[in-house]
Amino acid sequence: MAEPTIFERIIDGSIPSEIVYKDDLVTAFKDIAPKAENHILIVTNKPIPSVSDVEACDEVMLGHLLIVAKKIATDLGVAQSGYRLIVNCGPDGGQEVPHIHMHLLAGGKLGGLGFPSKD
Ligand code: AMP
């Protein structure tokens, strides 16, 4: 069996994190290295490695990521002022953790698309 991802360990509580939302399908917590004033990760509880691995049966769960993103944006007070949602996919997409997650970035005017290069 594959080693659990760091996000699975956050979801099961074996690694501490600042969880801001959790339900049967997704868990959301603060990014440990925020790239904006507010930087939340919304993670599927099911450990699918990346968007390239999703299947039709995951459709409801994946749609739910957006519903939860809207809720968190509303709770943060940025639903109208704006925010950015990012899903990195694979090595060239800058994905570091092989467990599907959506970044929610907010707080002031954001810069150009994407994070600064990690190189
Ligand atoms: P990605 O590059 O899209 O895979 O994003 C992975 C994100 O996970 C990065 O923004 C990291 O800062 C974040 N991250 C890694 N470990 C933790 C952790 N223990 N708690 C919260 N965020 C984390």
The residue type found at 6 is I
Structure tokens at 73: 């944006």
Burial class (CB in 10 A: 0-12, 13-18, 19+), 59: exposed
Residue 15 located in a structural domain? yes
DSSP annotation of 77: T
CATH of the domain at 71: 3.30.428.10
**What is residue 118's predicted lDDT score, i.e. its pLDDT?**
53
Residue 114 located in a structural domain? no
Q: Which of 48-52, 92-96, 99-103, 110-114 has the lowest mean pLDDT?
A: 110-114
Other CB atoms closer than 10 Å to residue 17's CB: what's the count?
Answer: 18
Per the annotation, the verdict on 64 as an active-site residue is no
Residue 26 located in a structural domain? yes
pTM, rounded to two decimals: 0.94
Instruction: Give the residue numbers spanning the domain of 45.
Output: 6-106
Greater pLDDT, 79 or 115:
79
- Total domain count for the chain? 1
Which candidate in 39, 64, 99, 101 is catalytic?
101
* Distance (Å, whole) CA 28 – CA 43: 6
Residue 53 located in a structural domain? yes
Q: DSSP H helical segments within the chain, as ranges?
A: 6-11, 59-76
Distance 32 CA to ligand 1 centre (A): 6
Ligand 1 atom 17, closest CA: 32
pLDDT digits 0-9 by tens, 31-74: 999 999 999 999 999 999 999 999 999 999 999 999 999 999 99
Task: Tell me the best of 31, 87, 105, 113 to mutate to test the pocket of ligand 1, counting ligand atoms within 8 Å of each CB and taking the most.
Answer: 31
**Any bridge partners for residue 104, and if so which?**
40, 85
The residue type found at 86 is I
Distance 31 CA to ligand 1 centre (A): 6
